[in-house]
Amino acid sequence: MKRAVIFLSAAIILTVGCRQKGAPAADLLPSAAFDTTINNVPVALYTLSAGDITMQVTNFGGRVVTLFTPDRDGNLADIVVGRRTISEYVNPTGERFLGACVGPVANRIGGASFTIDGVTYNVPNNDNGVNTLHGGLYGFDNIPWEVVSVSGNEIVFHYLRPDGFEGYPGNLDVTMTYSLTEDNEFKVQYSATTDMKTPVNISHHSFFNLRGEGVGTVCDYVMTINASEFTPIDALSIPLGANESVEGTPFDFRTPHRIGERIDCTDNVQIANARGYDHNWVLDRTSEKDVELACTVWDEESGRFLEVLTDQPGIQFYSGNFFNGTGIGVSGSPFEYRSSLALETQHFPDSPNRPEFPSVLLSPGETYTHTCIYRFSVKTE
């Protein structure tokens, strides 16, 4: 059945629920810069607000374009890295995955292939000409999603990936919901079904700069990750094998550490392989399906505090090691080295080829679900 599509003008500036009267409003992008049609699907820019946060999102790739939160003094800043026009996302200079939904298989698939029930499937080798990264050439970040509904604080997307598209089996039916809450949470929820066995590992790929886009680096942020193990990788970011303990390594964030404290320990082969942090942490979960705290990030200068909660077994922390000044953000600043970080809740990299990892195989009659919550607040110490 064809789903109803509802379009609201993003030019309407919504009132932020808990902000005091007279406080500065978010400096929103004009909706006209995103109005277009891609693959016969209308594309637009939508504005959501709740609590103290305001977000703009486009249905091209389900991308978060701006996300405004207050610092400890109540001053708003856009704390995600984005682009100013839709054309800059369609034909990107530099980083491709800014603010996007990534899938159908986030992270990497080694050798750009996998086998299900004795049948080998080949998918795009868009990572170093060898592996698959974040789904392929036309992953979930690079297609227009149908907008099912939109309200003041929530937008629901839908996409049907056809069987055989970029080599993946099965008609994969995906619904994705972005919502903002009065508790200053950005909640991402996925559900998916299929008519053939197929791998599914969807994730969200916003890049955060807690001082505001284009201001400083992430190296002074204080981080915790609730994980006793991480996934070692080779020089092409494919897992070497078994997960390893973080004990005694630069990957131990079980207690708070500044990100820059050990990020240049190049005598550690894992730091050298990724030019910093770009690894999966195996979360210390107390349940299989509940949403639990995975990670926190605190910027002492602004006071902004980010908590990441999820029901997934892993989280990929990427410290922006490959930004090199190529590409310009919403603020007009270039995408500089380590100027933002990504926190992608997920199953583990190369899981379709790793029976020892939690399975990402979705079968007919099953429903894939995934919840990720980014919760924003401020603290002084």
Of 295, 293, 296, 264, nearest to 277 by C-alpha is 264
**Helix or strand holding residue 295 (H, E):** strand 292-298
Amino acid letter, 149: S
Q: Contact 224/128 with Cβ under 8 angstroms?
A: no
Helices (H), the chain: 86-90, 269-274
Which pair of tokens denotes residue 260? 């820059």
Could you give the 3-state DSSP secondary structure of residue 142?
helix
- C-alpha dist (Å) from residue 115 to 41, 169, 195: 33, 11, 17
Nearest alpha-carbon partner for 89 in 327, 261, 320, 255? 327
213 catalytically annotated = no
Does 205 participate in catalysis according to the annotation?
yes
Beta bridge partners, 377, equal 305
Overall size of the chain counted in residues: 381
Q: Is the peptide bond before 104 cis (omega within 30 degrees of 0)?
A: yes
Catalytic residue of the set 134, 204, 205, 347: 205
What CA–CA distances, in Å, run from 89 to 22, 81, 102?
34, 12, 14
The residue from 134, 344, 347, 370 that is catalytic is 344
Q: What are phi and psi of 338, to 5 degrees?
A: 55, 35
Catalogue the active-site residues. 205, 344
